[in-house]
A and B are shown apart, each in its own frame.
Chain A
Amino acid sequence: MSRSRTTGIDLAARWLFIGLLILYTIYNLGPIFWLLISSFKSRMDLFTMPPKIFFTPDLSGYESVFGVGSAKDSASAFGVFESLVNSVIVSTVGTALAVFLGTLAGYVCSRFNFSGKGDFMFFVLSTRMLPPVAVLVFYHLMFAELGLADTRFGLILVAIFANIGLATWIMKGFFDGVPQEVEQIAIVNGYTRMYAFLHLVLPMVKGGIAATAGFCFIFAWNEFAFASILTTTKAKTLPVKISAASGATGIEWTQICAAGVVLIIPVLIFFYLIRKHLLMGMTFGVLGRR
């Protein structure tokens, strides 16, 4: 019955769908290909019309990002490498602390019922939804007052608060997957709840902690709004430095493209490591637990 229905219309629809999928793939991957190519172009090759696909590769963009070679003394490369170092420090320290706090909070939210738990969970999640510019109006004043403006410490504080919500919700999801009996049996056998948490439950969610760290790192690494307003010179992160990459000759496209590629690399590594937990991270631990 159903087989005889496979008519010309169905076949045409199938080819149409394949065509659209290919079209979307070009739209999706084309710009990334273009970014990669452009990062190896010299300033001359960037502006040629028609655009060149084949050209002699030029590493000046990468040299300025890593602060090596001819870029060392060039004015346009000033401080780019330092901002890469800032990015690495802020996002790794911020991630580690956010995951630590999120793990503790996630465990409590998964295991205990306490008054105000729903409100706490909403409050925590809402921090993730917050438009950065809204709180920045006040941060701008607060950070200046506390001497946190343009410091890595200030940005680490921001990275912690901005990622606690995500970390708590994802970790709660992972803890929900560990049966309550684990602690119950331990307590019956005379161990404390703390012992059960540290030595039994935590090792069971090791993978979850790694995935959570991956997510927090990606968000902290790409963060722009906070860093752009709260830093002026010495604590600038790489995304902020990119946005300021306009020298005497206009926007330094080679440098921007190279920095863009460099910014993707750690994200790609984490992305590969956490690919199984992707859903969990994107939906606050609600989906993907199954």
Chain B
Amino acid sequence: MTQIDASNRKRSSGRLMILGFLSPSLAILLFMVAYPIFSLVYYSFFNFSALRPAAGMKPVGLGNYEFLLGDPELWERFVFTGEFVALCVSAQMLIGIFIGYQLQKNFRGRDLLFTALMLPMMMSPVVVGFLWRYMFNSEWGVINYLLTVIGLGKVDWLGQTTAALFAAAAADTWMWTPFIVLLATAAFRGIPETIYEAAEVDGASPAYTFFRITLPMSAPVLFIALILRLIDSFKQYDLFFALTGGGPGSSTETVSFAVAKTAFSYFYTGEASALAVVLLVIIIGLSMILVRHLNKMGERY
């Protein structure tokens, strides 16, 4: 009898603890995330400007979405964002895996080098944007100087669309390759030594060992890295704000950048909300893939 009592009391105290410990976080997140997102969806059905609230909100149904679908400029934003994501994520994965593989070998000064290489990831994206803008300057930038030293011509990096795309990708790759290096090194070190020894006994070549053992065995961790980078580069805003300001013209505007411009320069709040909803749907889709994967990983370890 007393035992049942005690276990009952324990359970109810547990429930109290769940409630007490979770509700403050939940309250803040509901207020700061759920409420804004619901309002965003709501606003996306209205023609409405934050600048002129007095003009009222005209319901337009799916009008904002239809407008966005028919807007060729928006397609350009998506194409540009896609090109940027493809370019920098593939560069980061390739370089990151390669460097991570080199850094898992033992050599003198490895730990120091490893720590130093993590630096770019720790910087503020705005500082990164300005730093690269400073170095990419066509007149007195150090990159064009180095190009002339090795006998190449100067490039107007931030004044042409294609060059600006590569410049932005170079800056983003600079900042985030260390992240892939970090995860790849950890994944590679997690592979048991005995497997490599067995491969060596069998006379496997280094290339064979890398492609048939190292890569497949670290694939789950590398997949996390890939999805995280896809999400982050897809929503990239800060870097473009500081590096190109969206220019030349509006050719280097990402989808995030377009949302900000529509909402805070033109004050087309309804249209910006619809675009933000589209952006959210894409990000949430990617996040769900990630979370499913994280949960699987969590069970494994």
* Distance, CA A39 to CA B17, complexed state (A): 51
User: Is there an interface contact between B25 and A126, defined as CB atoms closer than 8 Å?
Assistant: no
CB–CB B28/A101 < 8 A: yes
A256 contacts B134, C-beta separation under 8 Å = yes
B174 at the interface (CB under 8 A from A): yes
Contact A224 B260 (CB under 8 A): no
Tell me the bound Cα distance from A130 to B290 in angstroms: 14
Given contacts A134-B40, A279-B183, contact A161 B280 (CB under 8 A): no
Q: Which of B17, B257, B283, B295 contacts A129 (CB 8 A)?
A: B283
B18 adjacent to A104 (CB under 8 Å): no
Contact pick for B33, options A35, A120, A127, A218, CB 8 Å = A127
Chain A stretch 14-72: residues in CB contact (< 8 A) with chain B: 17, 20-21, 24-25, 27-29, 31-32, 34-35, 38, 46-51
Please tell me if B250 contacts chain A, counting CB pairs below 8 Å.
no
In whole angstroms, what is the CA distance A271 to B122 when docked? 8
Judging by beta carbons under 8 Å apart, are B116 and A29 in contact?
yes
Q: Are B140 and A224 in contact (CB under 8 A)?
A: no
Residues of chain A with a CB closer than 8 A to B25's CB: 101-102, 104-105, 124, 164, 168
B189 CB to closest chain A CB (Å) equals 10
Are the CB atoms of B241 and A134 closer together than 8 Å? no
Give A125 to B290 CA distance when docked, in angstroms.
10
Contacting residues, chain A, for B13 (C-beta < 8 A)? 192-194
B70 within 8 A of A: no
Which of B40, B99, B295 has a CB less than 8 Å from the CB of A24? B99
The number of residue pairs between A and B whose CB atoms lie closer than 8 Å in the complex comes to: 270
Q: Which residues of B contact A127 (CB under 8 A)?
A: 29, 32-33
Given A114-B18, A134-B279, A279 and B186 touching (CB < 8 A)? yes
Q: Give the distance in Å from the alpha carbon of A138 to the alpha carbon of B257 in the complex.
A: 16
Q: B20, B122, B283, B288 — which one has the most chain A CB atoms within 10 A of its CB?
A: B122
A26–B34 CA distance with the chains assembled, in angstroms: 44
Q: Are B40 and A126 in contact, with the CB atoms below 8 A?
A: no
* Residues of chain B lying within 8 A (CB to CB) of residue A242: 124, 126-127, 130
Which of B36, B37, B99 is packed against the most chain A CB atoms within 10 Å? B36
Interface segment, B60-68, B82-90, B160-168, B198-206? Answer: B198-206
- Asked if B297 and A138 make an inter-chain contact with CB atoms under 8 angstroms apart, the answer reads no
* Contact mask for chain B residues 259-291; partner A; CB cutoff 8 A; 1 contact, 0 none: 110011000010011001101100110111011
Given contacts A21-B99, A218-B122, contact A282 B183 (CB under 8 A): yes
Are B126 and A243 within 8 A (Cβ)?
yes
Number of interface residues of B (CB under 8 A): 94
Chain B CB within 8 A of A76 CB: no
Contact call B131/A35, Cβ cutoff below 8 A: yes
Is the pair B28, A164 in contact by a Cβ cutoff of 8 Å?
A: yes
Apart from A136-B263, A257-B131: 17 A-B pairs, beta carbons within 8 A: A25-B113, A29-B119, A32-B120, A105-B25, A112-B18, A126-B284, A126-B287, A129-B283, A132-B237, A135-B33, A164-B25, A222-B123, A256-B127, A257-B134, A264-B122, A267-B123, A282-B182
> Which positions in B face A, CB cutoff 8 Å?
10, 13-14, 17-18, 20-22, 24-26, 28-29, 32-34, 36-37, 39-40, 43, 50, 95, 98-99, 102, 113, 115-120, 122-127, 130-132, 134-135, 139-140, 142, 145, 174, 177-179, 182-183, 186, 190, 200, 203, 205-206, 221, 224, 228, 231, 235, 237-238, 241-242, 256-257, 259-260, 263-264, 269, 272-273, 276-277, 279-280, 283-284, 286-288, 290-291, 294-295, 297-298, 301
13 A-B residue pairs with CB within 8 Å = A20-B98, A25-B117, A122-B288, A123-B33, A126-B291, A134-B259, A135-B40, A137-B43, A142-B39, A193-B17, A242-B127, A263-B123, A271-B122
